[in-house]
């Protein structure tokens, strides 16, 4: 079983409820979406084919033996859009089999049903400002695990904020799963977003892309 891999790198988790945790990232090549704020265009086509066993061996070498508790090793499958690879669920299942905590970063444009329940699913609900809000499967909400998975909104402007707020309210999303509101880098003022969330009393987590705060927006492999 082979996967086209753009890069494998060890860094910290830059987004979400697990931000700041050391994490090994496997970035697969390819994405059918073209979001207006995409920061990984280099992953659309660049990469090399690798056998799954080769990938698993590298993960074991870089993360070491499995451990339990707060020090459990953490690995994330990202892209691109990793679920554009039909066999990505098999890779996720194999990573779980190594005894690590496993996360998936996905746009919600592909069916989550084949993804193992134990995988932490960080799902990016695209907004109108992304240009890809129509690329969404509503049935994916049925596969999000409360207390584990996250639904993320990258907001480009005030209109995106109001859209995301209304979308969540209509579905009572925040009663089902943790919701993240993130300002699109360089497009929406983080202070404005934080102040609006507080003023409106929204039960969401405001987040920044921590890796960009630390290393800048242009650096890859972090």
Token pair listed for 201: 């009393």
Residue 37 · residue 185 · CB < 8 Å = yes
12 annotated as a binding-site residue? yes
β partners of residue 101: 74
201 annotated as a binding-site residue? no
207 annotated as a binding-site residue? no
Name which of 34, 47, 72, 35 is nearest 220 in CA terms. Answer: 47
Name which of 119, 115, 2 is nearest 54 in CA terms. Answer: 2
Nearest-angstrom CA–CA distance, 193 and 175: 21
60 annotated as a binding-site residue? no
Alpha helices in 100-182 (DSSP H): 158-171
Nearest-angstrom CA–CA distance, 172 and 128: 20
In the chain, the largest separation of any two C-alpha atoms, in whole Å, equals: 50
156 annotated as a binding-site residue? no
Taking each continuous run of H as one helix and of E as one strand, the counts in the chain are 5, 9
13 annotated as a binding-site residue? yes
100 annotated as a binding-site residue? no
42 annotated as a binding-site residue? no
Token pair listed for 183: 């300002």
Name which of 153, 158, 104, 106 is nearest 130 in CA terms. Answer: 153
Token pair listed for 137: 């499967």
165 annotated as a binding-site residue? no
Annotated binding site for S-adenosyl-L-methionine: 37-39, 80
Annotated binding site: 12-14, 27, 31, 35, 37-40, 78, 80
Annotated binding site for [4Fe-4S] cluster: 31, 35, 38
Annotated binding site for Mg(2+): 40
Annotated binding site for substrate: 12-14, 27, 78
């Amino acid at each position: 079983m082979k996967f086209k891999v753009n890069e494998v790198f060890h860094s910290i988790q830059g987004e979400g409820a697990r931000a700041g945790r050391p994490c090994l990232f496997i970035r697969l090549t390819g994405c059918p979406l073209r979001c207006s704020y995409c920061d990984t265009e280099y992953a659309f086509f660049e990469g090399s084919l690798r056998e799954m066993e080769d990938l698993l061996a590298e993960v074991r070498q870089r993360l070491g033996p499995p451990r339990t508790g707060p020090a459990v090793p953490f690995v994330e499958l990202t892209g691109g859009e990793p679920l554009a690879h039909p066999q990505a669920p098999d890779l996720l299942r194999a990573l779980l089999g190594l005894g690590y905590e496993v996360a998936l970063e996905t746009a919600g444009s592909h069916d989550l049903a084949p993804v193992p329940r134990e995988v932490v699913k960080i799902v990016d609900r695209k907004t109108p400002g992304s240009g890809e809000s129509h690329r969404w499967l509503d049935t994916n909400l049925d596969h999000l695990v409360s207390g584990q998975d996250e639904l993320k909104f990258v907001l480009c402007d005030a209109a995106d904020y109001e859209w995301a707020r209304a979308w969540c309210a209509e579905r009572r999303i925040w009663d089902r799963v943790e919701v993240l509101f993130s300002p699109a880098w360089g497009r929406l003022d983080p202070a404005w977003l934080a102040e609006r969330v507080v003023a409106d009393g929204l039960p969401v987590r405001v987040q920044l892309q921590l890796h960009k705060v630390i290393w800048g927006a242009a650096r890859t492999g972090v």
